[in-house]
Amino acid sequence: MTEPLTFPPKKDPQKRSATPTRPPEARSRASLALTAAAAEGRFALQVCDECQIVQYPPRDACMNCIGTDLRWNDVSPKGHLLAETTVQTSTKLFFRERAPWRMGSVKLDVGPLILCHIHGDCTRDSAVKVLNRLDKSGQAVLIAIPLERSDHMDDDPQLRALSAHPKHRRILITDAWNPNTPALARALLDAGAATVFVGEAESWRPHPNRDALASMANVEVLPLDVTDTSSVQKLAGEIGGKTDILINNARFLRPGGVLSRGDTGFARDEMEVNYLGLMRLAQAFGPGMCARTADGVNSAAAWVNILSAYALSNTPEYGCYSASNAATYSLSQSLRGEFRSSGLRVMNVFVGPTEDDWHAPLPPPKVLPQSVARSVLDGLNDGLEDVWCGDIAKDIRDRWRKNAKVLEREMTFGSDGA
Amino acid sequence: MVKARQNYDGVAITAPFSMPYQRYSIDTAHWWIAKALRGSLTAANLKPSDLDGFSVASFTLFPDSAVGLTQHLGLCPRWLDHIPMGGASASVALRRAARAVQAGDANIVACVAGDTNHIDSFRNMLSSFSRFAQDASYPYGYGGPNANFALLTDRYMKEYGATREDFGHICVAQRDNALRYQNAVMKKPLTLEQYMSARPIADPIALFDCVMPCAGSECFLVMSEDEAAKRNLPYAMLGGAIERHNAHSEDDIQLRGGWTMDIDELYAMSNCTPDDIDLLQTYDDYPVISMMQIEDLGFCAKGEGPEFVRSHDLTIDGDFPHNTSGGQLSAGQAGAAGGYIGMVEAIRQVTGTAGGTQVKNASIAMISGFGMINYDRGVCTSASILKTGARA
C-alpha cells in the first residue's frame, strides 16, 4: 500500500532546487488524439470502423484490414499486468532524477498490449485498470492502477506526477468576492492543501464571504486587485515563491450585448478583470511558478482559469461578458504554450450559468458554488486541461463539437418582440 | 504448395574485415564505413572501382543513406542497397547480394555496416528510433531497449523458469571468448559472481546483460565462386538464408521470434541439421535473446534454453561454440555493425582465418540476426548458414 505523503521539511535555500525537466514530448499526429482524451480524463483508443479491432499504438491504418477509418472511442480500461520492470537508469534527465521508475506491459481486455507506468500498489500478474493522463510534457501517458482504491493511492509518486493534487500544496484563489470562493477554499483544505491564500479587492468594503473565510483554518486573506498591476506585483512579491496552484476566479459580469448597453464602460471593466486580470496575474506569478514545477512535494503544479462556457459560443443575453471570456479563453491557450516547457499545467474550467444575482433572469439548471469546487478538485486530481462544470456547459461543449455554426445559429435566434 | 526456393550455389563470401571498435569516436559513420570497406578491398586486392554492388547498414549516416555514400566514397555501383534492419541486417544483406551475383546484376558486392558513437549519440538515436517507440514506449521511463528487454526477460523467466545465473552463463562464456579476440572492447575477465552482483539497470536486467554502445564497422564481399577462386581468396559458401518480419504479432509478449516460421526451410536448403552446426553466432543484444534463438533455431525445444546453457560449454573450445568473438555483450555494440559482428566472424571461422578465436575444424556456421524494437518487440529476424568454400 502507498505510504501517505509527508509534508515536506522547510526548504534549505543553500541547496539546489530541482530544475524543471520533462519526459519526452514528441508524438505523432495520430497520438495527439490520445492527449486530447487525457485532457478531459477519458480513456479512448482507435477502433477500426470496418473490422472493429481496437488498436494501439495510435496509427494511420488498421493493423487488421488496412482500413484507414479509425475512430477514437472510449473503451474499457481494464486489463492484466503481464510483465514489469523497474527502470533504474535512464538517458532522459526527467526519469534519471526520479529513478527508480516502474513500468510494464498490460494486456487490455479490449485487445491491445500497452506499455505503461505502473502504480506502486499493483501486484504482479494481477488485474489492473489503466488511466490516461497528461504528463509533465503535457502529453498523454497511460498508467496502470489496482482495481481497488486504497487510502493514500493518490500519493503514489508516479501517479502524483500525472496530477496537480492539492495535498500539501499552497493555493491562491484570486477573488474573495466571488460566491464560489468559500466552497473552493473548503474543498481544497479538505483535500489536504497546506494553505489557501485568498486575494481580496477593496478590503474596506464588507462582503458576504468574509466571515466564512475567516472561520477556516489555514486560509489567509490578502489584498489583491487584479485590475491594478502594482497590487498584483506586490502580492506576487510576497507569496509568488510559494504559490503552487493559482485559481483565477476573478470575474466582472453584467448582462447585455452591444446594443443594450449605451457605452463601453462595462465592457472595459469586463476586459480589465476577466482578460487583462489574467494577463497581469500571469506576468506576475507565471515565471516564478514555472521555475518551481520540479520543486518536490509542494512544487508548482497548475494554473486554473474559471471561465464561462459561453467563451466557446456567444450568448447575446450576456454578449459582452461572453466576448471577454472568449478573449480570456484564447489567452489561456497562449499561456499553455508559454508554460509548456516548464510543465506547468493550464486547466480551464468552463462553467454554465451560476446560481447568483446576475443570472437570476435565466431558467435552471444553474451551477452551485459546490459544483464549481468539485469540478476544480476533480480536474486537479486527474490532471485535466479542460473541465466542463454543469449540464449547460456540457451541452454547449457537445453542440459546439458537433457543429459550431449550428450552435451559433441556435444561440443567436432573434425574438419577435412582444 | 509454395514454390521451393532456389539454392545459393556458386556464390562466394569472402574478405571479412572488422575495424577495431572504440567506445567513443570523434569520427563519422562515413569514416568508419570507409575504413571497413578499405579493409575488405585490401584483403581481396581490389580497387574501389572494381565494385559494382554496394550494400550499407547504418543508423548514424543521417542525413545520408547508401546513395550519399556512393558520391562520398566515389563508388559507381550498378546495384545499391540500404538495409535499415539493425541486428538482422547481415543475413538480409548477404542473401540479397547473393541473388544479385547469381543473377548477374552485380559481379562484386561489398556488404558493409558501420556506425559511429559520439558522446550523447546513443541518447539522440533513441529519441528518433521509431514512431511507435516515440509515441508509446519511450514516454514510460525512457529506459530504451533496456526496459523493453527487461519486460521480455521478466516474462521469459516466469514462463520457463530461467534464472539470472542461466543468463550469466551466456555472458561469462562470451567474455572468455572475447579475451581471445583482439578487437573486443572488454578486456577483463568476467565471473558469474560479478555478473550476479552487477548494478541493476532495469530489473531483472543488470549491467552485464547490456551491451556497450560503441563505434565500429564490419565488411565482407560477395562474388561468384569463380571470381573468388581466380583471385585465390579463401571463401565461404551460403547454404541458405531466411528473413521474417513482424512474426507472431498475436503473442502478447515476445517469447519467440520469426525464425520459427522458416527454420525448417533453412536447414533443408542448407542440407544439414542442428547437429551439424559447428558454431552459432546469435544476435546477443541481451542474453535472453540469445537463449530464445538457441530454442527457435532448433538446438532445443521452446523453454529448454535455460537447461541447454546449463549443460553446454559455450566457449570457443566447448561443446557448443557460441559468439566466438565475444559477441556484442563483450566486443561491444557498434550500431548496425552489431548485426554484422557474428557474420564476419563466422566467415573467418569457416575459412580458417579466425586466429585466436578459431574453432577447430569449423566448417558449418550458423548466423542469426534480430533487430529493430519498433514498439514492444524486435520486428526483424534473419538467419543464414555458411559452409567452408576454400580455406586459407
Domains along chain A? Answer: 32-160 (no CATH), 170-411 (3.40.50.720)
Residue A333 has what DSSP assignment?
A: H
Provide, as residue numbers in chain A, all residues whose Cβ is less than 8 Å from the Cβ of B252: 82, 105, 107, 113
The SS3 call for residue A104 is: strand
What is the reported pLDDT for B234?
Answer: 98
Provide, as residue numbers in chain A, all residues whose Cβ is less than 8 Å from the Cβ of B379: none
What residue segments make up the domains of chain B, in order of their start? 11-120+215-230, 142-212+236-390
Give residue-wise pLDDT tens across range B237-287.
Answer: 999 999 999 999 999 999 999 999 999 999 999 999 999 999 999 999 999
Give residue-wise pLDDT tens across range A314-348.
Answer: 999 999 999 999 999 999 999 999 999 999 999 99
Least CA distance to B156: which residue of chain A? A83
Chain B touched by A31 (CB under 8 Å):
yes
Question: In the predicted model, what is the mean pLDDT of residues A352-377?
Answer: 94
- Cα A344 to chain center, whole Å? 10
Between strands A101-108 and A113-118, the pairing is antiparallel
The set of residues, in sequence order, having a beta carbon less than 8 Å from that of A72 and lying 6+ positions away, is A33, A34, A37, A44, A45, A46, A47
Alpha carbon distance A131, A143 (integer Å) = 5
User: Quick one: cell of A124?
Assistant: 504482479
- From the list B143, B200, B376, the residue facing A105 with the nearest CB is B376
Rg (CA), chain A: 23
pLDDT-derived band at A350 (thresholds 50, 70, 90) equals very high
C-alpha separations of A205 from A174, A200, A210, A250 in Å: 17, 10, 10, 17
Residue B234 has what DSSP assignment?
A: -
Contact B341, B47 (CB under 8 A): no
Question: Left if phi > 0, otherwise alpha if psi is -120 to 50, otherwise beta: which for B172?
Answer: alpha
The set of residues, in sequence order, having a beta carbon less than 8 Å from that of A149 and lying 6+ positions away, is none
Considering only CA atoms, which of A298, A207, A157, A116 is closest in space to residue B375?
A116
Nearest CA-CA distance, residue B128 and chain A, Å? 9
pLDDT-derived band at A413 (thresholds 50, 70, 90) equals confident
DSSP letters for B237-301 = EEEEEEEEESTTTT-SS-SS-THHHHHHHHHHHHT--GGG-SEEE---SSHHHHHHHHHHTTSS-
> Which run of H or of E encompasses B57?
strand B53-57
Contact A127, A80 (CB under 8 A): yes
Identify the residue among B130, B138, B140 best suited for mutation to test binding to A, counting A beta carbons within 10 A and taking the highest: B140
CB pair distance less than 8 Å for B134 and A26 = yes
Considering only CA atoms, which of B155, B253, B169, B170 is closest in space to residue B204?
B155
User: Quick one: cell of B341?
Assistant: 559482428
The A residues from 42 to 101 touching B (CB cutoff 8 Å) are: 56-58, 63, 82-92, 94-95, 101
- From the list B136, B151, B158, the residue facing A56 with the nearest CB is B136
Domain B142-212+236-390: CATH architecture, name and number where available: 3-Layer(aba) Sandwich (3.40)
Give residue-wise pLDDT tens across range B216-236.
Answer: 999 999 999 999 999 999 999
Provide, as residue numbers in chain B, all residues whose Cβ is less than 8 Å from the Cβ of A35: none
Question: In the predicted model, what is the mean pLDDT of residues A175-185?
Answer: 97
CB pair distance less than 8 Å for B140 and A116 = yes
- From the list B127, B141, B200, the residue facing A95 with the nearest CB is B141
Provide, as residue numbers in chain B, all residues whose Cβ is less than 8 Å from the Cβ of A116: 140
> Which run of H or of E encompasses B14?
strand B11-22
Residue A260 has what DSSP assignment?
A: T
Chain B touched by A117 (CB under 8 Å):
yes
Is pLDDT of B27 > 50?
Answer: yes
Contact B356, B335 (CB under 8 A): no
Question: In the predicted model, what is the mean pLDDT of residues A127-142?
Answer: 97
Alpha carbon distance B43, B110 (integer Å) = 12
Name the packing angle between helices A181-190 and A369-382 (round to 10°).
40
Chain B touched by A328 (CB under 8 Å):
no
Q: What is the ipTM of this complex?
A: 0.91
Domain B11-120+215-230: CATH architecture, name and number where available: 3-Layer(aba) Sandwich (3.40)
- From the list B126, B140, B155, the residue facing A83 with the nearest CB is B155
Is pLDDT of B321 > 70?
Answer: yes
User: Quick one: cell of B184?
Assistant: 573486443
- From the list B150, B252, B375, the residue facing A107 with the nearest CB is B252
Is pLDDT of B114 > 80?
Answer: yes
Is pLDDT of A418 > 50?
Answer: no
Identify the residue among B129, B137, B142, B155 best suited for mutation to test binding to A, counting A beta carbons within 10 A and taking the highest: B142
Residue scoring higher pLDDT (B121 or B67)? B67
Question: Bridge partners of B235?
Answer: B14, B390
What is the reported pLDDT for B221?
Answer: 98
- Cα A399 to chain center, whole Å? 22
- Cα B353 to chain center, whole Å? 19
The set of residues, in sequence order, having a beta carbon less than 8 Å from that of B155 and lying 6+ positions away, is A82, A83, B253, B255
Provide, as residue numbers in chain B, all residues whose Cβ is less than 8 Å from the Cβ of A104: 151
Provide, as residue numbers in chain B, all residues whose Cβ is less than 8 Å from the Cβ of A63: 249
pLDDT-derived band at B141 (thresholds 50, 70, 90) equals confident
Contact A176, A200 (CB under 8 A): yes
Alpha carbon distance B219, A325 (integer Å) = 66
What is the reported pLDDT for B127?
Answer: 66
pLDDT-derived band at A11 (thresholds 50, 70, 90) equals confident
Is pLDDT of B92 > 50?
Answer: yes
What is the reported pLDDT for B1?
Answer: 60
Provide, as residue numbers in chain B, all residues whose Cβ is less than 8 Å from the Cβ of A56: 136
Mean pLDDT over the full length of chain A: 95
Chain B touched by A122 (CB under 8 Å):
no
Nearest CA-CA distance, residue A168 and chain B, Å? 26
Mean pLDDT over the full length of chain B: 95
The set of residues, in sequence order, having a beta carbon less than 8 Å from that of B138 and lying 6+ positions away, is A24, A92, B126, B127, B144
Considering only CA atoms, which of B117, B93, B120 is closest in space to residue B11?
B93
Identify the residue among B121, B125, B134, B135 best suited for mutation to test binding to A, counting A beta carbons within 10 A and taking the highest: B135
What is the reported pLDDT for A70?
Answer: 98
Is pLDDT of A417 > 60?
Answer: no
Q: Count CB pairs under 8 A between chains A and B.
A: 113
Give residue-wise pLDDT tens across range B164-180.
Answer: 999 999 999 999 999 99
How many other CB atoms sit within 10 Å of the CB of residue A243? 22
CB pair distance less than 8 Å for B123 and A91 = yes
What is the reported pLDDT for B129?
Answer: 82
- Cα A175 to chain center, whole Å? 18
Alpha carbon distance B95, A86 (integer Å) = 40
Nearest CA-CA distance, residue A66 and chain B, Å? 15
Nearest CA-CA distance, residue B137 and chain A, Å? 6
Provide, as residue numbers in chain B, all residues whose Cβ is less than 8 Å from the Cβ of A94: 142
Question: Left if phi > 0, otherwise alpha if psi is -120 to 50, otherwise beta: which for B161?
Answer: left
Is pLDDT of B62 > 60?
Answer: yes
- Please enumerate residues of B whose Cβ is less than 8 A from a Cβ of A: 122-123, 126-127, 131-132, 134-144, 146-147, 150-152, 154-155, 158, 199-205, 249, 252-253, 375-376
CB pair distance less than 8 Å for A91 and B142 = yes
pLDDT-derived band at A13 (thresholds 50, 70, 90) equals confident
